Every structure is written in structure tokens, then in C-alpha cells.
């Protein structure tokens, strides 16, 4: 611009000089008419040459200036909605009657969209309205009308404007992407895909993405990268890392992280609407058993330590927190092992240390009080008793009988204390109305009692009938079965002996 002004000033100076020269020549010709003819001819020649030069110069300059002006005009960016420069109208219409007219420019539409390039080509008949402008109609759903207008506006963005600032969230970007795919706008599609691939999604947004993106083909596939199934080897690696962390003894500050890892491990093995994420083979089961065995060993050592210093309140208070934490871990571990059908070692360990567990809980918790430790002990115990009672884990008679003698009195007293809780104790009231735990314990006791020799059954049932807490656990079913078996036992065994003798004689 400064160069043009200087050049124009220089031109005007030259023109002024020429005009001044012509004036002087005219004046000289009037006062010196008597000059020699040769001198006049030379002066006229110089005058004509100067005028000719000035004319040619002005012609070329104004031609150059015109070109510069046109070039300046062409560099001025077109604006959407500018009726003075628009040569095409895009009519965005809906079946509900909306009809928005957008004044656009064909060179921009054709450069940004293959759809508009085809519609505005010579091969596609177009209608002309209003000042011979071309008209292109785009039909869409009412919900997509604003997104169509947004896409048209994006066509006019200059390169120095960040398109990512235009998306305004995942939902808006999805709407723009849907329209951009329909109008075949590769650059906008690529920008939308890059944005959606990089930003976090809410759960509802993720579901919407799953509805829309798969139908858009390969160009939108990067958006789905975070939702693709993982390589099975990667699943195994993360499972094993998580099981090791979940059965470890990190500092208390990491308890929340450990709990979260435990929840995800259980979810990975759960069969719900979807198949389990992991199918455990022998190698995985072995690793899980080893991790849980280490956890059980630490718990057993802790219980022995607590039994040894039950009178030391300071040490007890510190160890009791660890005791409760380990119980929570063991409860979770029992659920994982049940899913993997690998409860044997866990049950053996709990059976061996049951007597000491009851001692610790009874000594540290008053008889009429239900503590968190008592509840956790009950929850783990029911898993063990169910495994024994239903034959999942095989134990000899002596150990089964011992489990009844240890846990039946303890659970009976705890149940009585819960039934005696006042209604204004919200926490204990919640436990009181949770009948599933008590039903499971009762069923497990009945099953185990019925696996014992009839003499041991009679001993247990006699104690039950004489106990003041006869209402729980209710061993009526075991009593009925024992009565029937005992009554028909002689006949059954006589028939069995006769059959045996007949077989031997043959």
C-alpha cells in the first residue's frame, strides 16, 4: 500500500513537470516568434515526445492500478449471508415446513463439499431464482437443521481459526459430523473425528456414539478405538496385576484403590448380560490361589498374634484395624474363588483357624454388641459353611463336626443380640432386616448336620432343643430327617444285611 502511494505521488510530479514545460514552450513561442525554424522544430519534437510518454505512462499505470484493485477485491474473504456477493442460495428445508435461505458462494461450497460440487456442476440441473442466483435445496430432519447451518458457517472459516473451538461439546460435534458425512465434507469430517477421538465422553454420549459412528464407515472408525475389544493377553496381564495388588497389604491410604480394584476383578468374572471378560485357565487359577493363600497366611498370623496379646489394649487397637481390613479382603477373595471353583485351600485355612477367630471376636466385642468385625466374620463363615455343607469342599467328619460346635453357639448369640436391637439404631436395624445372610447360615448348618453320623446328629439336636435360643438356627428340617432315618434304620439295615448275605451265598 505504501509503495502504491509513493508511485502515485511520483507520477503526479512528472505530470506537473510536463504541464509546466508545455506552458513555458507556449510562452516562449509567443515572445520569440522570430527564432530559427530548426530550433522551433526541435522544441516541438521534444514537446510531442513528452506528451506521448506521459500518455503511455498514464495508460500503463491505470491498467496496473486496476489489476491491483481487482486483486485486492479477490483477497477480501467472502462472508456467508452476504447478498451483494452471493451467487447461490442454499435452502435448508424440513418436512415440518421450515425453509431457511442461506446466501452463499459457489466457489466456497464446491471447494468444501462434494455434494455441493455435484449439485452446482454442469451435469446437475439447477433452478435459478432471485437475480439469477443458483438454488440448492437440502432436506433434513428438524433436529438437524441447526447443524446444517453450522456446517455452512464452517465452510467460511479462515485457516487461522481453530475449528475445535466450534464443536461446543460431544453432542454438538456428533450432529455436525452427521451432516458433514451426508454433505461429503472431508475436512470437517476429519476435524470432528479428531475432536471426538480425543475428548472424554459421558455415559449417555457414549451410547449415542455407538448408535451413530458405526454406520459412517472407515472415516469415523478412530472414534471407536477406546471401545474396541482388548487383546486377551492384555486382559490376562491386567487381571493378574490387579489380583496381586488386591491381595497385598498396602498402606491404609491405598485402601480405596484396593477396594476399587477388587470390585473390577469381581465384575470381570461375573456373567450378567454379557459373558465374563476373562475365562480363567489353570494358570490363572493357580496364580489366584497363590495370592489368596498369601493373604490367608497373613490373616492366620495376625489372629495368632491377637490371641497371644488379648490383654494388651494398645497393640490390640492397632491390630484390630488390620484384622477388620483382612476380613474384608478375605470376604472378597471367597467370592472370587467361588467363581473360579477354587475354594478348597481357602476353606481349609478358615477351618483350621476358626477357634482362634471366635476367641478374638468374643474378647474384643461385647456379647450384646454387633460390630463390623462380627459382621465380616459371619459373612466369610457363611461362604465356608456353604462350601462344606453342599459338598463343594470335602472335609472329614471330625472337622465338619468341629465347625458345627465352634460356629453354632457363636452365631446363635449374635443373632439374638441383633434381634434385641432397638429400632432407633439405624445401622444395626439395617443388619437386622437383612435376612438373606441368616437364611444362608441356617441352610448351611442343616446341610452339614445331616452329613454327620446319626449319633453326632442326636447330640447336636439334643443341645438345640434344650437351648434358650432354639428359634435360631431352626434345625427342624434336620430333626425331621433324623427321626425318619432313625425309625427306619433297623428295617433298612436288615434289608441291606439280607441282601448282602444273599449276594455272598450266590
Query: In this structure, what are the phi and psi dihedrals at residue 176, rounded to the nearest 5 degrees?
Result: -65, -40
Quote the CA–CA distance of 440 and 413 in Å, as a whole number.
17
Clarify whether residues 476 and 369 are in a common domain: yes
Q: What is the reported pLDDT for 62?
A: 47
Long-range contacts made by residues 306-314, C-beta under 8 angstroms, separation at least 24? 306/356, 306/360, 306/364, 307/356, 307/359, 307/360, 310/359, 310/360, 310/363, 310/364
Task: Please give the tally of structural domains in the chain.
Answer: 4
Clarify whether residues 396 and 292 are in a common domain: no
CA atoms in the 13 A half-sphere facing the CB of 465: 10
What SS3 state is found at 321?
A: helix
Clarify whether residues 390 and 499 are in a common domain: yes
Q: What is the reported pLDDT for 320?
A: 83
Per-residue pLDDT reduced to its tens digit, 467-506 = 988 999 999 999 999 999 999 988 877 766 555 555 555 4
Block residue for cell numbers 458425512: 181
Low-confidence stretches of the chain (pLDDT beneath 70): 1-76, 125-133, 159-166, 310-316, 366-370, 421-433, 495-506
Clarify whether residues 103 and 222 are in a common domain: yes
Q: Is the peptide bond before 473 cis (omega within 30 degrees of 0)?
A: yes
Strand ranges (E), 97-192: 99-104, 127-129, 133-140
400 belongs to a structural domain = yes
498 belongs to a structural domain = yes
Hey, which residues does 140 pair with through a beta bridge?
94
**For residue 218, how far is the Cα from the chain centroid?**
22
CB 179 within 8 A of CB 148: yes
Closest CA to 247 of 297, 281, 283: 297
390 belongs to a structural domain = yes
Domain-ending residue, one of 75, 99, 128: 75
Q: What is the reported pLDDT for 11?
A: 53
pTM, entire model:
0.71
Per-residue pLDDT reduced to its tens digit, 134-185 = 888 899 999 999 999 999 999 988 765 555 666 789 999 999 999 999 999 9
C-alpha cell of residue 506: 450266590
Quote the CA–CA distance of 351 and 300 in Å, as a whole number.
11
Range of the domain at 466: 365-506
Q: Which residues contact 445 (CB under 8 A, 6 or more apart)?
A: 385, 389, 404, 408, 473, 475, 478
Question: Where do runs of H (alpha helix) occur along 247-343?
Answer: 255-269, 282-308, 313-339
Domain-ending residue, one of 46, 75, 104: 75
Q: What is the reported pLDDT for 186?
A: 92
108 belongs to a structural domain = yes
Domain-ending residue, one of 20, 42, 75: 75
83 belongs to a structural domain = no
Long-range contacts made by residues 310-313, C-beta under 8 angstroms, separation at least 24? 310/359, 310/360, 310/363, 310/364
Burial of 405 (0-12, 13-18, 19+ CB in 10 A): middle
Count other C-beta atoms under 10 Å from residue 353's C-beta.
Answer: 19
Q: What is the reported pLDDT for 252?
A: 83
Amino acid at each position: 500500500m505504501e509503495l502504491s502511494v509513493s508511485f502515485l505521488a511520483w507520477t503526479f510530479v512528472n505530470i506537473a513537470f510536463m504541464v509546466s514545460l508545455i506552458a513555458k514552450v507556449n510562452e516562449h513561442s509567443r515572445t520569440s516568434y522570430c527564432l530559427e525554424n530548426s530550433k522551433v522544430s526541435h522544441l516541438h519534437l521534444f514537446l510531442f515526445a513528452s506528451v506521448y510518454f506521459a500518455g503511455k505512462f498514464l495508460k500503463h499505470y491505470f491498467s496496473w492500478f486496476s489489476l491491483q484493485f481487482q486483486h485486492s477485491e479477490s483477497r477480501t474473504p467472502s462472508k456467508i449471508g452476504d447478498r451483494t456477493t452471493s451467487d447461490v442460495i442454499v435452502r435448508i428445508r424440513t418436512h415440518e415446513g421450515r425453509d431457511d435461505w442461506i446466501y452463499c458462494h459457489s466457489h466456497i461450497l464446491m471447494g468444501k463439499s462434494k455434494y455441493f460440487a455435484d449439485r452446482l456442476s454442469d451435469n446437475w440441473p439447477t433452478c435459478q431464482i432471485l437475480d439469477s442466483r443458483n438454488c440448492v435445496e437440502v432436506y433434513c430432519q428438524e433436529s438437524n437443521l441447526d447443524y446444517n447451518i453450522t456446517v455452512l458457517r464452517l465452510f467460511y472459516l479462515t485457516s487461522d481459526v481453530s475449528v475445535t473451538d466450534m464443536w461446543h461439546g460431544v453432542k454438538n460435534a456428533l450432529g455436525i459430523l452427521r451432516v458433514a458425512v451426508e454433505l461429503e465434507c472431508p475436512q470437517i469430517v476429519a476435524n470432528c473425528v479428531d475432536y471426538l477421538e480425543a475428548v472424554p465422553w459421558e455415559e449417555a454420549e457414549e451410547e449415542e456414539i455407538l448408535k451413530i459412528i458405526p454406520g459412517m464407515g472407515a472415516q469415523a472408525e478412530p472414534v471407536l478405538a477406546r471401545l474396541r475389544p482388548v487383546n486377551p493377553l492384555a486382559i490376562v496381564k491386567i487381571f493378574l496385576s490387579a489380583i496381586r495388588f488386591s491381595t497385598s497389604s498396602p498402606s491404609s491410604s491405598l485402601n480405596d484403590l484396593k477396594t476399587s480394584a477388587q470390585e473390577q476383578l469381581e465384575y470381570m468374572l461375573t456373567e450378567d448380560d454379557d459373558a465374563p471378560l476373562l475365562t480363567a485357565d489353570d494358570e490363572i487359577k493357580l496364580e489366584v490361589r497363590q495370592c489368596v493363600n498369601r493373604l490367608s497366611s497373613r490373616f492366620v498370623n495376625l489372629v495368632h498374634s491377637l490371641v497371644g496379646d488379648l490383654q494388651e489394649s494398645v497393640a490390640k487397637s492397632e491390630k484390630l484395624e488390620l484384622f477388620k481390613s483382612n476380613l474384608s479382603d478375605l470376604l472378597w477373595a471367597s467370592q472370587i474363588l467361588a467363581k473360579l471353583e477354587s475354594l478348597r485351600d481357602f476353606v481349609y485355612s478358615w477351618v483350621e483357624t476358626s477357634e482362634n477367630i471366635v476367641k478374638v471376636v468374643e474378647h474384643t466385642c461385647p456379647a450384646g454388641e454387633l460390630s463390623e468385625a462380627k459382621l465380616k466374620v459371619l459373612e466369610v463363615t457363611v461362604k465356608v459353611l456353604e462350601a462344606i455343607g453342599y459338598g463343594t469342599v470335602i472335609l472329614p467328619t471330625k472337622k465338619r463336626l468341629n465347625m458345627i460346635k465352634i460356629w453354632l453357639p457363636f452365631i446363635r448369640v449374635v443373632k439374638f443380640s441383633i434381634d434385641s436391637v432397638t429400632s432407633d439404631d439405624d445401622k444395626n436395624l439395617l443388619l437386622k432386616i437383612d435376612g438373606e445372610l441368616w437364611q444362608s447360615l441356617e441352610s448351611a448348618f442343616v446341610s452339614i448336620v445331616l452329613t454327620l453320623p446319626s449319633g453326632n446328629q442326636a447330640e447336636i439336636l439334643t443341645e438345640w432343643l434344650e437351648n434358650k435360643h432354639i428359634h435360631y438356627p431352626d434345625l427342624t428340617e434336620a430333626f425331621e430327617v433324623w427321626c425318619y432315618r432313625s425309625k427306619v434304620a433297623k428295617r433298612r439295615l436288615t434289608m441291606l444285611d439280607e441282601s448282602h448275605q444273599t449276594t455272598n451265598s450266590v
